[in-house]
Amino acid sequence: MTDSRSGLSPCFNPLNCVFFQKEFEDVDQTFEQLVSIAQKIPRTKVILSNENYWKGICRSLIFRFPDDLEILKIEKKIQIKSASRYGGGDLGVNGRRVGRLLTALEKLNS
């Protein structure tokens, strides 16, 4: 769950969760770009989307395990969190997902 004033909840298990936060000059444009990229991730279902917050469930290819992907805009910051719902580890899936989001964002803006 999220609070638009304090941000996304922290990762409780770093073995199956990744949290990223950064300030951006044009936070509105960056948020829109990240949401657009996230919505194109294969096997992703959008759960909630508004002007400050986006949440989707991304499923793994073979076993269809659900991971929560959240993107939040707070003032000049963007927070991204990707976390597995089950299991003690994710074999790096959530880290790669956030990395791919950021790489795609960088390519859009270069």
pLDDT tens, the chain, 110 aa long: 455 568 999 999 999 999 999 999 999 999 999 999 999 999 999 999 999 999 999 998 888 999 999 999 999 999 999 999 998 889 999 999 999 999 999 999 98
Q: Is 66 a domain residue?
A: yes
The boundaries of the domain holding residue 46 are 15-108
- Do the domain assignments include residue 104? yes
Does residue 61 lie in a domain region? yes
- Number of domains the chain contains: 1
Residue 68 falls inside a structural domain: yes
- Whether 97 is in a domain gets the answer yes
In a domain, 102, yes or no: yes
Q: So what's the pLDDT on residue 28?
A: 98
Task: Indicate the residue type of 50.
Answer: N
Question: Of 110, 85, 84, which is closest to residue 97 (Cα–Cα)?
Answer: 84
The answer as to whether 62 is a domain residue is: yes
User: How far lies 19's CA from each of 7, 63, 69, 80, 101, in Å?
Assistant: 11, 24, 10, 6, 13
**Any idea what the CATH number is for the domain that residue 42 is in?**
3.30.310.80
Q: Which pTM was predicted?
A: 0.93
Q: Is residue 3 part of a domain?
A: no
